[in-house]
Structure 1
């Protein structure tokens, strides 16, 4: 499939850059109104985990014929989604998770989980060192082990479940994921009563019934 050309700006990257520029501009202008101050606080809150979530997203969906999830900004999307509580991530921890000291240690005062901080600690524990300084093989092994353990006990709640779901959602709703990795046809499009389906047939991003993010 055609890939993103070098230097080309994608919508998600542009918006992420615009948000960071706005935060920096606000800092240079002195006291800002409450909305801008809140934006700066949010940027500062998310910044420590930007590299981690970018790298994790890239491991979940690596570059093939198209750019990987980290490259298209899915990691930034995940952090914003977690901050806003998508996929139930700002609800109080389930009893089973609250009883796990390794998870409960990252609970917020409102009972919800700081997923990004939990993920950083969990991957560091499995890699034997902070994820940022782990080797590619250690990173891959740590994430694969976490993914295996998290989905081995379905339907038990696991903090990795919503993070992975949001990575997939962020990628397949990006320009690259939605129009290059998947087929895209503007609705209503053309009606074909009988189309051949082969192993290389891609789902359509404009047909949500054909997409399974699980």
Structure 2
């Protein structure tokens, strides 16, 4: 798989990927005739995503983005933790004290959501905390800070796509039951793999209330 970055006169970056170098070159020529582009070479960094290649495969991470986030929040030297949340933690809309800076909470959750592009572990907790953007509590902000301390433990973790893998799709899914104390709705999560490569994942609250764990 070949990946490269192009930049046009309006400073917009474009990524081209494919396994046919001649076809990629044809596309570059057509784009250059219309927009006057500059070829920046093989893809290494794009919109906060870091791409590293080896004979074993491609590694995708957001290490620089994660470290910048830790520095902006003042947690670059914080004590890391090995877990995202305490066991049996449940977040409520009403049980707790309001957090004083709503805009700071929203900015932090927005930046954490972008990290879920490469750090699968964050999906459930960040998705849950994003439900309180309009009225965050101090417990919600404390949980977001714990996420940052978890990221500090390994800011370079990400996705690895091996060069040799079986050509087969595998999917795994699970759900809890009535995990949300406010709505009594369950949360569904799934992972989809192409061989050993994780290609799709999600954590989302269900739209209806399930009457049993089996129904969930």
* TM-score bucket (shorter structure): under 0.3
| Structure (1 or 2) with the larger CA radius of gyration | 2
Higher helix share: 1
Using the size of structure 1 for normalisation, the TM-score is 0.22
Higher strand share: 2
- Higher relative contact order by CA 8 Å / sep ≥ 6: 1 or 2? 1
Using the size of structure 2 for normalisation, the TM-score is 0.22
